[in-house]
Amino acid sequence: MEKVKQLFDAIVGADAWYIAGSPLLGNITNVDEPNSDPENEVLYFTWVGDEEGTEFSERITEEDLANAIVDGNTITISDPNGDFDIQLYRLAPVEIDLAPPSSASRDDEERKAQDHDRASLFMQELLDAVETLSGIAEQHGARTLADLMYLQNAILSGGFIDHYPEESKVLEIASGLPSGGQWSKFITVEYLASET
């Protein structure tokens, strides 16, 4: 009787019932509490069984529940016409927000798009100005090439890079590009303290 009551409660407590093979969810149209009578019809399911809309039904007795096989969320009821599978589901509410996005999020999206365009322009100007990126490293050192890559990332993120003129020519190269004045704004010049 305990299994019957547990299955009955689980089925009745579900938010939705899917009957295997049905294109739609099923319905419980009649519910009677278990009373320890194996012939007691405790549940009466109806569902659409095919694409044409043919309606089917199944009466579930306490004996059916006692002999049911449970696998996860599926309960299989043995039936002379073939096994009858019921899958139980809980439904979760869906929140619908029709409010327009805040101006802050629109501004942030626009800023990110502008930063992306700006970083792409920087890289295009840099590639147009040099024969190869490895040529920058050969002529000005690996630090300069690395600083140029950091500069592109700073432009993309709206940040800046520190520039040490004794170690890198990033400011010299960036300033020499067609939009050099714009790129210089992303470079902070730092001088190393001389050791005496």
Instruction: Encode the chain (196 residues) as per-residue pLDDT tens digits.
Output: 789 999 899 888 888 888 877 777 788 887 889 999 999 999 988 888 777 778 888 889 999 999 999 988 888 988 777 777 888 887 777 777 777 766 667 778 888 889 999 999 999 999 899 888 888 988 999 999 999 999 999 999 888 999 888 899 999 999 999 999 999 999 988 765 544 4
CATH architecture of 2-89: Roll (2.30)
Structure tokens at 1: 């009787």
Q: At what angle do helices 142-157 and 103-129 cross, to 10 degrees?
A: 150
- 8 Å CB contact between 156 and 116: yes
* Pairwise CA distance, residues 77 & 68, whole Å: 5
Q: 146: burial class by Cβ within 10 Å (0-12, 13-18, 19+)?
A: middle
Give CATH 2.30.29.190 domain extents, the chain. Answer: 2-89
Q: What are phi and psi of 25, to 5 degrees?
A: -70, 150
Q: Which residues, listed in sequence order, are joined to residue 26 by a DSSP beta bridge?
A: 17
Residue 171: both structure tokens together: 């400011």
Please give the pLDDT value at position 111: 87
